[in-house]
Amino acid sequence: MYNKLIFEKSVAGANKRKLFNCDEKTVPEKYARKAKLNLPDVSEVDLVRHYQELARKAHGVANGFYPLGSCTMKYNPIINEEIASIENFRNIHPLQSQSDMQGSMEVMYKLKEALCEVTGMYDMTLQPSAGAHGELTSLMMIKQFHESNGEGYRNKVFIPDSAHGTNPASAAMVGYEVVEIPSTDGGFVDVKKLEELADEKTAALMLTNPNTLGIFERDIVKIAEIIHKAGGKLYYDGANMNAIMGYVRPGDMGFDVMHLNLHKTFSTPHGGGGPGSGPVGCTQELAPFLPNPSIKKNGEMYEFEDSDDSIGKVKSFYGNFLVNLRAYTYILSLGGKGLKEASENAVLNANYMKARLKEYYEMQSDGYCMHEFVMSASKIKDETGISALDIAKSMLDAKIHPPTMYFPLIVKEALMVEPTETESKKTLDYACDVLIDSAKLAYKDPEALHNAPSTTPVKRLDEVGAARNPILKYTEE
């Protein structure tokens, strides 16, 4: 009964519910399905049990600590859900007339204003539906800007090797040549190298800050000077704004365009392929290139407005409205002071864990980190054969989701830890104890770690097999 696919639970005729009276008379012939749709036939109660069973096997923020570095799996306050479930928001239709949608348009406008305030940007679009989508949007704007200036020949985008992996992918999708900038031993952008390479072909530089080692770039002013002198634009990957809110703003640091991950910094957990939101902010100079439509205020009315220079639409309608609404709720419930405190606690929690763990794992940066840090199990692996993967799997037995593994790529046996601001000292101590115990166990009883996890509903998976022989589609034998 359990561990079966929903298709294997199917019994002909079990589903007594019909969606609505949909027969061939209501569907025009040309749209009518020719073959029977292969859907599982299960009763409502079996369906509910099936998904509850799957949920019990998964680990979410509501089950326990989830320090998945770079993904910010933080708690999403219930008030966000309450506001997002208000009927007039939930049931709004994007094709309603603008005069009918004034309340929701006010939310979009005020969220945009709040995000401009937090980032120091002039204008903002809420359309992109994820961080990487925001990167793509930003680069399309930069490209259109250069082309409109007769400088479409600019084709190089500089990306430090400590940038988030989506950055080079986004640049390549826009048709740019990616030029990697190496990091110095301290994990900072090699400014000398950048200076050598920046030339009249420079289109932009993409900076992830704090970078994937969890450190704040030291030479931003110099980097901005080099890129702007070469005629390029500066793009800020602001997915990790939760490390700096209320302290520094990309707009004040000289960035021309940036994206935010509302589904990280402004709550709503990240991951699982669920809906996200990656608003893009920019300077006044780049504002005409933002996606259409922009939301404006005219007297007491909110209006959508198109710009002739716009890159066009990047998503249907106006973005993931309910994710944006949750972010606006979060901003209003915390206020400016609360957002600043959220960043302080995110940074404090990461530094607390880093300090407790540094005796047992090799830290990849000296001194303080921002909201996350990267440690390596390389020495443990060399001395005991226990890898970062084994350590990560052992955490599952302690009901903790493992940190991000083997990322960033520049660190061997990497474990990237992001505790987030919402966790208590008690939880952080528990997680540190678990990680310390695993490091000690590696020397005493490595076999126990090789076999972990042993208490979870799903034991150690054959990850190589899953990657080499993926079964992505159900087929009846």
Distance CA 137, CA 143 (A): 10
What track of x and - describes contact with ligand PLP for positions 257 through 296 (by CB under 6 A)?
----x--------x-----x-x------------------
Selected from 61, 68, 71, 171, the binder of ligand PLP by CB under 6 A is 71
Q: In whole angstroms, how far apart are CA 199 and each of 144, 157, 184?
A: 19, 11, 21
Closer by beta carbon to ligand PLP, 403 or else 453: 403
In DSSP notation, 372-435 reads: -EEEE-HHHHHHHS--HHHHHHHHHHTT-PPPEES-STTSTTEEEE---TT--HHHHHHHHHHH
Question: Which residue number, 212 or 387, has a Cβ lying nearer to ligand PLP?
Answer: 212
Region of residue 335 (left: phi > 0; alpha: psi -120 to 50; beta: else): left
Report whether 115 contacts 260 (CB < 8 A).
yes
Which position among 9, 42, 65, 70 is part of the footprint of ligand PLP (CB under 6 A)?
A: 70
**Stretch of 80-88, 125-133, 322-330, 333-341 lying at the interface with ligand PLP (CB under 6 A):** 125-133
d(CA 281, CA 295) in angstroms, rounded, equals 13
Amino acid sitting at position 427:
T
Asked if 132 is part of the footprint of ligand PLP (rule: CB under 6 A), the reply reads yes
Asked if residue 130 binds ligand PLP (CB under 6 A), the reply is yes
Site string for ligand PLP, 162-181 (x = CB under 6 A): --x-x---------------
Site size for ligand PLP, by CB under 6 A? Answer: 15
Sort residue 187 into left (φ over 0), alpha (ψ -120 to 50) or beta: left
* Burial of residue 271, with CB atoms counted within 10 A of its CB: 0-12 exposed, 13-18 middle, 19 or more buried: middle
**By three-state DSSP, how is residue 109 classified?**
helix
The tokens of 265 are what?
A: 């910094």
Dist. CA 339–CA 217, nearest whole Å: 22
Could you count the other beta carbons within 10 Å of the beta carbon of residue 405? 18
x/- letters, 73..112, toward ligand PLP (CB under 6 A): ----------------------------------------
Binding mask 234-253 for ligand PLP (x = CB under 6 A): ---x-xx-------------
Q: Kindly state the smallest distance separating residue 457's Cβ from ligand PLP, in Å.
A: 27
- C-alpha–C-alpha distance, residues 331 and 423, integer Å: 19
Query: Cβ of residue 236: shortest distance to ligand PLP, in angstroms?
Result: 10
How far is Cα 318 from Cα 97, in angstroms, rounded to an integer? 14
131 binds ligand PLP (CB under 6 A): yes
Q: What's the rounded Cα separation, in Å, for the pair 193 and 199?
A: 12
Q: Which is nearer to ligand PLP, 287 or 370 (CB)?
A: 370
CB of 134 to ligand PLP, least distance (A): 8
What is the Rg, in whole angstroms, of the alpha carbon atoms belonging to the chain?
Answer: 25
Q: Select from 232-240, 243-251, 299-307, 437-445 the region that touches ligand PLP (CB under 6 A).
A: 232-240
By the 10 Å C-beta count (0-12 exposed, 13-18 middle, 19+ buried), 135 is classed as: buried
CB of 407 to ligand PLP, least distance (A): 10
When asked if residue 392 is in the footprint of ligand PLP (CB under 6 A), the reply is no
* Residue with smaller CB distance to ligand PLP, 238 or 453: 238
Q: Which of residues 189-228 bind ligand PLP (CB under 6 A)?
A: 208
Q: Does 143 bind ligand PLP (CB under 6 A)?
A: no
CA distance 350 to 418: 6
Nearer to ligand PLP, 130 or 370 (CB): 130
User: Whole-number minimum distance, CB 60 to ligand PLP, in Å?
Assistant: 17
Of 9 and 164, CB closest to ligand PLP: 164
Binding string to ligand PLP for residues 6 to 45, with x set by CB under 6 A, is what? ----------------------------------------
Residue indicated by tokens 């929903």:
6
Residue ranges in contact with ligand PLP by CB under 6 A: 70-71, 130-132, 164, 166, 208, 237, 239-240, 261, 270, 276, 278
